[in-house]
Amino acid sequence: MEITRRDLLQKITTGGAVIAVGGAVSAATLTGIAHAEEAKLSPQAVGMLYDATRCIGCQTCVVACTKANDLTPDIRRDQLHQGPGDLNSYTKTIIKLYKSTDGKEFSYVKQQCMHCIDPACAAACMFGGLKKDAKTGAVTWNGSLCVGCRYCEIACPFNVPKFGWEGFNPKIVKCEFCKERLAKGEQPACTEVCPKKAVIFGPREELMKEAKLRIAANPGKYFENRVYGEREAGGTQVLYLSHVAFDKLGLPQPGDESVPHKYLKWQKRLYSYLVLPAGLYAVLVGSIRKNWKGHEEHMEEEEKATGLRPQL
């Protein structure tokens, strides 16, 4: 029987909410972790390779993404990025500009969901609102299961999902790898239109080979001669090559271990000391509060730098 958002809300708002939520967190964390341990991409897993050395910042990909996803174009601009400074609930991808202070080094960078091999957003969602497709590996959102708790936003190591406040129903906005296009055998809108083939689509395995061939053919051209996304947060299906240091492009350094895998270790420790699920829930709430504070600080910095309040 399919569980609807209404069923879920009823369960939470009726008696024993704290116990129910505490239990749900433990169960969901366990499910996410079990999934993490088995995380293996299918041979059909798709990928996207973005090569910053080829991107001219034309934003054709952003326009195509907006059209393909029927989004309201985000027309806000800031001086540096010539577009929104961060992902928001109006856009599933953005192109940002990095410029060094002496102006000698610059690069564009495309930002969207990384489609993690072991996605923290899906592990954090208590209700299965985010799911990794078993075949393509695309991480997609199901509006009928989402209760708008925003745990996915906080859990994501790449700061990707954004909450749409408009309207009655909560809405999480993030790139879903153009799932409708993939289902029809088409490639994503952004990769289809790029005039420089700076962002390309294909099986992840093939794209990884292609990225390594480019590195081998151009010694010293690419930062650290490595592919971002090969290992980050347990590996991602979106891969990057860049001539500029990845952190300068705003690509986070989450380490090689996936977030759900990290939680597995902590959970094993907690359970070995017979800590009750309520205790675990308290730890998670503490961690979420801490992350949320960081999130707020980031938004204030963005607002100071750009004069624009980022949309969550």
Among positions 94, 126, 139, 200, the unique one binding ligand SF4 when judged by CB under 6 A = 139
Q: Could you give the count of Cα atoms lying within 13 Å of 255 in the half-sphere of its Cβ?
A: 6
Q: How far apart are CA 285 and CA 288, in angstroms?
A: 5
Cβ-Cβ contacts under 8 Å for 276 (sequence gap 6 or more): none
Q: Given candidates 112, 242, 267, 306, which one binds ligand SF4 under the rule CB under 6 A?
A: 112
Q: Considering the complex, what minimum distance in angstroms separates the CB of residue 241 from ligand SF4?
A: 12
Distance between CA atoms of residues 66 and 250, nearest Å = 22
Beta carbon nearer to ligand SF4, 192 or 302: 192
In degrees to the nearest 10, what's the CA dihedral of 231, 234, 236, 241? -20
**Judged by CB under 6 A, does residue 258 bind ligand SF4?**
no
Name which of 22 and 28 has its Cβ closer to ligand SF4: 28
Residues in the chain: 312
- Rounded Cα–Cα distance for residues 54 and 108 (Å): 9
Taking the least distance from each CB to ligand SF4, the nearer of 121 and 145 is: 121
- Should residue 158 be labelled a site residue for ligand SF4 when binding is judged by CB under 6 A? yes
Torsion, Cα 182 188 193 194, to 10 degrees, reads -140
Please select the residue that binds ligand SF4; options are 47, 83, 84, 188, rule is CB under 6 A.
Answer: 188
Distance between CA atoms of residues 115 and 74, nearest Å: 23
Site string for ligand SF4, 227-246 (x = CB under 6 A): --------------------
Stretch that binds ligand SF4, among 186-194, 242-250, 285-293, 294-302 (CB under 6 A): 186-194
**Residue 85: what are its φ and ψ, rounded to 5°?**
-75, -15
Q: Does 110 bind ligand SF4 (CB under 6 A)?
A: yes
Q: Could you say which of 21, 189, 244, 249 contacts ligand SF4 (CB under 6 A)?
A: 189
HSE-up of residue 186 (Cα within 13 Å, Cβ side): 12
**x-marked contacts with ligand SF4 along 63-92 as a string, rule CB under 6 A:** --x--xx----------------------x
Per-residue interface string for the shown chain with ligand SF4, residues 114-133, x marking contact by CB under 6 A: xxx--xxx------------
Shortest Cβ distance from residue 30 to ligand SF4 (Å)? 18
Residue of the chain from 26, 29, 60, 89 that contacts ligand SF4 (CB under 6 A): 60
Is the CB of 83 or the CB of 277 nearer to ligand SF4?
83
CA-to-CA distance for 75 and 275, rounded, in angstroms? 50
| Neighbour-count burial for 52-69, b at 16+ CB within 10 Å, e otherwise | bbbbebebbbbebbbebb
Binds ligand SF4 (CB under 6 A): choice among 77, 99, 196, 309: 196
User: Virtual CA dihedral for 243, 244, 247, 250, nearest 10 degrees?
Assistant: -100
Note whether 58 binds ligand SF4 by CB under 6 A: yes
Cα–Cα distance, 302 to 6 (Å, whole number):
36
Minimum distance, C-beta of residue 43 to ligand SF4, in the bound complex (Å) = 20
Residues forming contacts to ligand SF4 in the complex (CB under 6 A) are 55-61, 65, 68-69, 92-93, 95, 108, 110, 112-116, 119-121, 139, 156, 158, 160-161, 174-178, 188-190, 194, 196, 198-199
